[in-house]
Amino acid sequence: MTPIERAARAMYDAVSPEWSWDDPDAELLRKMYRANARAALLSLRDPTDAMCEAGGDHVTQGERITVDALWTVMMDAALDEDL
């Protein structure tokens, strides 16, 4: 499952609409959720200062961090900004 599909499904699950995701007649709604997910992901392309700080806190001279760990730390910081 692509990140956009995952995000679209998460948005759908958060709302719990009356229709089934797998309903063949719901393609227009699935497209809407995918478009919203794409817009959300595009908005995250430029990190905030808090995200950069969180990422920078985990990268020091001579040490290595995996990209997935760094991404998680930065995304956690983005999610914390909206609390």
Q: What is the pLDDT of residues 44-73, one digit of tens each?
A: 888 888 888 877 777 666 667 777 788 888
Rg (CA), the chain: 16
Amino acid 83: pLDDT:
60
**Average of per-residue pLDDT across 10-23:** 92
pTM greater than the 0.85 cutoff: no
Cα separation, 7 vs 36, in Å, equals 9
Amino acid 23: pLDDT:
93
Amino acid 39: pLDDT:
94
Q: What three-state secondary structure class fits 53?
A: helix
What would the two tokens of residue 25 be?
């007649």
State the first-to-last Cα distance of the chain, in angstroms, to the nearest integer.
28
Calculate what percentage of the chain has a pLDDT beyond 70: 89
Where do the structural domains in the chain lie, given as residue ranges? 3-43, 49-81
